[in-house]
Structure 1
Amino acid sequence: MATDHDGVRELLAAWAVGALLPGDEKAVPLHLAECESCAAEAERLRETVRLLGGPASGPRLNGAGGAAGGVLAAALRARPRVARVAPHAAPYAAAVAGLQALVREMEGRWATPVVHDWNAHATVAHLLAADEPLALRLGLDARVPASPVPGDTPWEDAWNARTADVIAHELTRAPEDTVAAWAAQAAELLATPEALDSVRAAHATTLMGLRLPVADHFLVRAFETWIHTDDLGRALGLPVPPPPEEHLGLLVRLAVRVLQLALSSAPPVLLAMAGAEPDAQWVLGSEDEPVQAELVLDPVDFCLLLGGRYEPDAVPRGATGDEGAVQRVLQTAAAMSWL
């Protein structure tokens, strides 16, 4: 039963969709009566669930709710009741739980086209491959036979070859076996010392062409897992909620840091996230010139743009100033996707 502030705060999404475990059903309302910040966050989450088609009156789920509410509730119920991961790994843990909930809706639908030339089965196989570089770097064993890729192959080519091999291998197996392999690898990643200890995750390593702290590589895994869960949800007609606000903020900040590197010599543009806290804005581009334009994006749309799910001209935005500078930011962001 959760009684401390942090413990209750982690259960607010479950409260909003009526997915609390019996031991927490009394503790959470008692805490909300005393804590103004948690009460405000709980009300925001309940309103979000209502808008997504979940329970419209009160936090309990009675019968079948909307698709998004049901998927979210199942994800929260599936969340492991074990020692908590460090904050940098929490978004990945949540994304894994969300996908585990969604795959329960896929029986008989594994051949549904999803993204690129992948069906639902191949999309999960791709995630098995995508998590593998971090798993191997942290000392875990591969779950798919090795690919015959020379060691000096450029990382993009090596990655394309590996993901194609993993997908081909997994398509010879039952979808349930692929899901089990992906879920087991994800669980092992979340049990590594680097997932549990922020100090252990502070050392930098290069994966997928990016030299980042291991902590940030966990955020990359969260980003991609959520993007493909959203792909699957769209293909199956099951709306998938975006990451919780706290997790989304971490993903946005990582994406901005990577984008800043790519735009270091470009005409500067002030980028701001709509509806976010006042400090959620950054100047992207050269430090030697005045700001040429201002660009405002919704944080979810920004992540989908970097995930390759928006064309630069199609992403909803507010912009003023030099349109060429704005387009350079949007095009660079879209071109960064390898998902």
Structure 2
Amino acid sequence: MTNDHEGVRELLAAWAVGALPPADARAVPLHLADCETCAAEAERLRATVRLLDGTPGPDAGVSGAPGDAGDGATGADQGVGGADGVLASALRSRPPRTPGVAPHAAPYAAAVAGLRALVRELPGRWGTPVVHDWDAHATIAHLVAADEHLALALGVGARLPASRIPAGTPAAHAWELRTADAIAHEHARTPEETVATWAAQAADLLATPEARDPSLAARAATVMGLRLPVADHFVIRAFEAWIHADDIGRALGVAVPPPPDEHLEQLVRLAVRILGLALHDAPPVLVEVTGTGPGTGWVLGSDAEPVAAELTLDPVDFCLLVGGRYAPDEVPRGLAGDERAARHVLATAASLAWL
């Protein structure tokens, strides 16, 4: 354990989620007693962890308390009736708005909290195949690398070793290499260590000023090749965290609830905006996503032609399509008009997937 100021600051997020070795966990409070700056930062991170855990008490989520990320607690350990009971209590009971963060970051906070609840069901099943060629452990490692892009853009330090990717490597291939490096690095560690790293990075992100101040989050940032307001990047992080929680839930046979309606609407609206850019010169199609509030019909495509078709989709199905979890010809939908134009919209939506 280093006692220097910067050394302690690097440990604060891991301390807040109870992920430090005992010696470091004992030493950090000694430094906090003498350093007001670190003490304030530690309290900010602890407050974020309490939000993620849904625990109002001041000692929740720290010092390795039961229920922290990576502690291995199961539904039986907590007196809850199995995995579905854990998720029901941890996810369905949470209000759509998460106190302490702005509305644009609330979906990410909720998705992180849900995934933290789900990973408690994974001890002994970390090798379960989940998606692509990843097991459950690799899926969490992938999320560490995926969240890292926004974290770095907001001044949060990297938690993974740098990759040696040749200059000029196309962005998509560079991302594949980075993901592979992250998974290889984390597979050399325990799943509990990987979860702690992911949870600490998420806590760091939710403690940034941009997560709490909409005016700061309105600035544009280029993350993973997309130049969008920082607020939108938080919604994308929520989208990916929920998609991968659903992946893990399906692999385990656990039903993962969809995001609350308020959050789901944010995911849908952002996906429609990005889809609209990709369809700017296509035959126009009216796309209606049901159940996500007023104004949920959008004409996507060229504005120089009459509407060629109408598509109606459920919001969860639409998000799963954009997330690459439905093939264009398999997603449930209502369709009227030019079938070819409608299929082009569905195929373009599916092609946006990078998760």
Deviations 1:110-141 (A, max 9, x none): 00000000000000000001000000111111
CA distance, structure 1, for counterparts of residue 293 and residue 211 of structure 2:
27
Q: Distance in 1 between matches of 2:248 and 2:99?
A: 29
Residue of structure 1 equivalent to 2:336 = 320
What displacement does 1:20 show? 8.8
2:84 corresponds to which residue?
A: 68
SS at match of 1:88: coil
Separation in structure 2 between the aligned mates of residue 131 and residue 153 of structure 1, nearest angstrom = 21
Q: Give the distance between the partners of 1:278 and 1:300, measured in 2 at CA.
A: 17
Distance in 2 (alpha carbons) for counterparts of 1:264 and 1:69: 45
Task: Tell me which residue corresponds to 1:3.
Answer: none
CA deviations 1:46-81 (Å, max 9, x no partner) are: xxxxxxxxxxxxxxxxx74574342131357899xx
Cα shift readout 1:119-164 (whole Å, capped 9, x = no counterpart): 0000000000100000011111111100011343222111111011
Structure 1 equivalent of residue 187 of structure 2: 171
Paired with 2:56 and 2:149, the residues of 1 have a C-alpha distance of: 35
Q: What is the match of residue 89 of structure 1?
A: 105
Alignment RMSD: 2.1
**Match 1:215 to one of 226, 231, 234:** 231
Q: Does 1:148 align with 2:177?
A: no
Q: 2:266 aligns with which of 244, 250, 267?
A: 250
Find the counterpart in structure 1 of residue 291 from structure 2: 275
Q: Which amino acid aligns with 1:279?
A: G
Structure 1 contact 76–97 (Cα < 8 Å) conserved: no
CA distance in 1, matches of 2:103, 2:193: 30
SS of the residue 1:149 aligns to: coil
Paired residue type of 1:321: G
* CA offsets 1:316-339 (integer angstroms, 9 cap, x no match): 000000000000000000011011
**Quick one: structure 1 residues 274 and 201, their matched pair in 2 at CA, closer, same or farther if it must change by over 3 Å?**
same
User: For residue 103 of structure 1, what is the amino acid of its counterpart?
Assistant: V
- C-alpha distance 287-162 of structure 1, shift in aligned 2 (>3 A): same
> Percent sequence identity over matched residues?
67
SS at match of 2:214: coil
User: 5 Å matches for 1:38-187?
Assistant: 64-65=80-81, 67-75=83-91, 84-187=100-203
Q: How many residues align?
A: 280
2:351 maps to a residue whose letter is A
Alignment match, 1:54: none
TM-score (norm 1): 0.79
Measure how far apart 1:21 and its partner are: 6.8
User: Following the alignment from structure 2 to structure 1, what is the Cα–Cα distance between the partners of residues 168 and 290?
Assistant: 43
What is aligned with 2:208? 192
2:82 and 2:271 mapped to 1: Cα distance? 31
Distance 1:83 1:20, change over 3 A: closer
Code of the residue aligned with 1:192 in structure 2: it is T
For residue 95 of structure 1, report the CA deviation from its aligned partner. 0.2
Cα deviation for residue 276 of structure 1 reads: 3.4
User: Structure 1 residues 66 and 322 mapped into 2: Cα distance closer, same or farther (>3 Å)?
Assistant: farther
Superimposed CA distance per residue, residues 146-190 of structure 1 (whole angstroms, 9 cap, x where no aligned partner): 001134322211111101100010001000000000000000000
* Paired residue type of 2:199: A
Which contiguous aligned blocks of 4+ residues in structure 1 show a shift greater than 6 angstroms?
19-22, 76-79
SS of alignment partner, residue 241 of structure 2: helix
